[in-house]
Chain A
């Protein structure tokens, strides 16, 4: 079977077409066309209840979609689950382990079910996975005694028991302290370096911005944007931030030349959709405004996210009121 490719010819590690899931009359996910390019780190963003977890559960064959098609590593899901899933590591909806077993015993139980591990490799794979998430010291302690962060790490370890081609992580940094979050980022970066495709869902924007090459934004069960992170960030109107002590006269000068600008805390913010930075500087210098510094302002993911989701509403809970105001 030929591997799925998107329009530009990139191989896709995961693809959905018209994915829809209805739970007792409630539409959880609707018309989702997801494309996860091979080798990418794709961040799945969205407020709580936007359909991230449902989409992931359908991708992995845990839930049957109401409608739509799914391809994972080039073969249909859930029909070929037994061929694909051994190559897919996943941490879904938090870690699920038995409290009366130690971390190591819990992993051994999961390793026993891994088709790609031979009997001789089991112990080594478990040790390596524990080592990798920094749990080697606590491996013999009962899972019951683990902190939230340690539980999350053990879940991560279970996704990394076998070298995978695709790793799916649902809210991997939940409950982790900053050091733990850093650790997860390091692991994701490591997987990326080895060419492993990573799909990571999060409602933490900074998280995604720091680790991902691609982004999918979900809101109310619908994909509102997806693509390379850089494209998404650039897609807002580009602005130039000019530091100048003569803010007021600078704004006037620019407006005289039909260049949209407004006052910023220590200078002016200029919209350069229809002009170039060079023209802006030239205009300012001619008008006698002193320019200390000028730099392109790159919109943060937070702005992009707000822009993408605010039309649909409901997102505001994720942003503080000031920022929501700016967006409008």
Chain B
């Protein structure tokens, strides 16, 4: 235990021989932000719940890919199949078989599907645990007393949620890519416009998808943090966020409310499809990102107002 040397020395001379006279407190010192972030990220990824959800997110593209592959290859030998069991009597065109399970469409499709509920759920859970969950354990007090100022606390928590969003979206796409490569190799890397895409062309499109999804998820996360800063029940955060998303999706179905639609977060989701086109049209993605940033700013502002006034 080499590290105990200096500490033991400090302890014996405290507090009379402290380096400053007892009447004067030294100027403020703060724990380095990088250390707080490291501790936060370590804590997030030690939480069993986080690991279970991330594991599920990895699994879902695999299941989708394998299921589509089995269904379509099962439909291919039409002559031998029993008439009741075979789905889609004619079978899909071969190009569609390879496209749906390709290393391009599978990750993007999985990401779009999971962005509806599963990924927002992951982020809402992380945000709920970040403030409300910690508060309910009484563990937030430890950092507040260290002290970590409330602004820095929110910053650390926001970065924590960002890391979860990025890792979650990244894992979905990575898992989709790997599954696609295993099932179809580099076949079917075709845009919706019918052009062949290079591996590089696929990778940057997927990178844009992950980045965009992270921004979208951070909008959800910011709102979740705002709720999280106002309650002690992490479950309330998850319910609030998912409830809000479901209501938004329902409202999006009502054409009489189309004046409201531009303000609803999930209306951006369809723009991810633009990444499958060639050349990519960025208008929808940019609009979606802007909408997400608006939610992000409002959410974090409310969270800041709440965290600085709440009782610790």
What is the distance, in angstroms, from B11's C-beta to the closest C-beta of chain A? 5
Point out the residue from A74, A82, A94, A120 that lies within 8 Å of B30, measured CB to CB: A82
In the complex, chain B residues 2-33 whose Cβ is within 8 Å of any chain A Cβ: 3-8, 10-11, 14-16, 18, 22-23, 25-32
Q: Give the contact stretch, choosing among A85-93, A177-185, A299-307.
A: A85-93
CB of B11 within 8 A of CB of A112, answer: no
| B25 contacts A75, C-beta separation under 8 Å | yes
Given contacts A82-B28, A98-B137, contact A163 B10 (CB under 8 A): yes
- Knowing A74-B25, A95-B138, A194-B14 touch, does A113 contact B148 (C-beta < 8 A)? yes
Q: Considering only CB atoms, which chain A residue lies closest to B136 in the complex?
A: A96
How many residues on chain A are close to B (CB under 8 Å)?
Answer: 58
Q: In the complex, what distance in Å separates the CA atom of A319 from the CA atom of B115?
A: 61
Q: Which of B7, B25, B29 contacts A125 (CB 8 A)?
A: B7
Q: Give the size category of B's interface with A.
A: 35 or more
CB of B28 within 8 A of CB of A163, answer no
| A11 cross-chain contacts in B, Cβ below 8 A | 23
Judge if A105 is at the interface, Cβ distance under 8 Å. Answer: yes
**Cα–Cα, bound, A87→B46 (Å):** 30
CA distance A84 to B145 in the complex (A): 10
Q: Are A98 and B146 in contact (CB under 8 A)?
A: no
Chain B residues near A73 (CB, 8 Å)? 25
- Interface of chain A residues 213 through 242 with chain B (CB within 8 A): none
A89's nearest neighbour on chain B, judged by CB, is: B145
**A128: CB under 8 A from chain B?**
yes
Decide: A124 near B147, CB < 8 A? Known: A57-B312, A62-B312. Answer: no
The verdict on A87 contacting B25 (CB below 8 Å), with A113-B148, A128-B7 known, is yes
Cα distance, A267 to B201, chains bound together (Å): 103
In the docked arrangement, what's the CA distance between A80 and B147, Å? 11
For chain A, what secondary structure do more than half of its interface residues adopt (helix, strand, loop), or is it mixed? Answer: loop
Whether B7 and A121, one on each chain, are in contact in the complex, defined by CB atoms closer than 8 angstroms, is yes
| Known pairs A82-B149, A86-B147, A108-B39; A121 contacts B142 (CB<8 A) | no
Which chain A residues border B143 with CB–CB below 8 Å?
110, 113
Asked whether B137 lies within 8 Å of A88 as measured between CB atoms, the reply is no
Q: Looking at the assembled complex, report how far the CB atom of B308 sits from the nearest CB atom of chain A, in whole angstroms.
A: 10
- A74 to B20 CA separation, bound complex (whole angstroms): 14
Would you give the 0/1 interface string for A1-18, flagging 1 where the beta carbon is closer than 8 Å to chain B? 011000000010000000
Q: Is A60 an interface residue (CB 8 A)?
A: yes
Q: Does B239 contact A (CB under 8 A)?
A: no
- Once A113-B36, A113-B146, A121-B6 are accepted as A-B contacts, the answer to whether A98 and B14 lie under 8 Å apart by CB is no
Q: In the complex, how many residue pairs between chain A and chain B have their CB atoms under 8 Å apart? A: 139
A158 within 8 A of B: yes
A293 CB, min distance to chain B CBs, angstroms: 45
Residues in A whose Cβ lies below 8 Å from that of B147: 61, 81-82, 85-86, 113, 115
Q: Which residues of A contact B42 (CB under 8 A)?
A: 109
Q: Is A83 an interface residue (CB 8 A)?
A: yes
Contact with A along B275-312 (1 / 0, CB 8 A): 00000000000000000000000000000000001011
A127 at the interface (CB under 8 A from B): yes
Q: Contact check: which of A38, A82, A105, A112 meets B35 at CB < 8 Å?
A: A112
**What is the minimal beta-carbon distance from A154 to any residue of chain B, in angstroms?**
11
Contacting pair B46 A84 (CB below 8 A): no
- In the complex, what distance in Å separates the CA atom of A18 from the CA atom of B30? 31
The answer to whether the Cβ of A119 comes within 8 Å of any Cβ in the partner chain is: yes
- Roughly how many angstroms separate A83 CA and B137 CA in the complex, as a whole number? 26
- Chain B residues closer than 8 Å to A109, beta-carbon distance: 39, 42-43, 142
Q: Does A123 contact B (CB under 8 A)?
A: yes
- Which residues of chain A are near B95, meaning CB under 8 Å? none
Residue of A nearest to B4 (CB): A124
Are B15 and A194 interface neighbours, CB within 8 A? yes
Select one of A96, A117, A158 contacting B137, CB under 8 A.
Answer: A96
In contact, B139 and A98 (Cβ under 8 angstroms):
yes
Most B CB contacts (10 A, CB to CB) among A74, A93, A115, A120 go to: A115
Interchain CB contact under 8 A, B146 and A115 = yes
Query: Which residues of B sit under 8 angstroms from A164, Cβ to Cβ?
Result: 15
Measured CA separation A165–B21 after assembly (Å): 12
Q: Once bound together, how far apart are the Cα atoms of A83 and B29, in whole Å?
A: 7
In the assembled complex, the Cα of A177 lies from the Cα of B23 at a distance in Å of 39
Closest 6 CB pairs of A and B: A96-B138, A124-B3, A163-B14, A62-B312, A113-B146, A112-B39
Given contact pairs A101-B46, A109-B142, a sample of 15 additional A-B residue pairs in the complex whose CB atoms are under 8 Å apart? A2-B23, A61-B147, A61-B312, A63-B311, A83-B28, A84-B25, A93-B141, A98-B43, A98-B137, A101-B43, A108-B39, A110-B146, A114-B146, A115-B31, A128-B8
Cβ contacts A to B, 12 pairs, < 8 Å = A38-B22, A61-B144, A61-B312, A62-B312, A63-B311, A92-B141, A98-B139, A101-B43, A113-B146, A121-B7, A124-B1, A163-B15
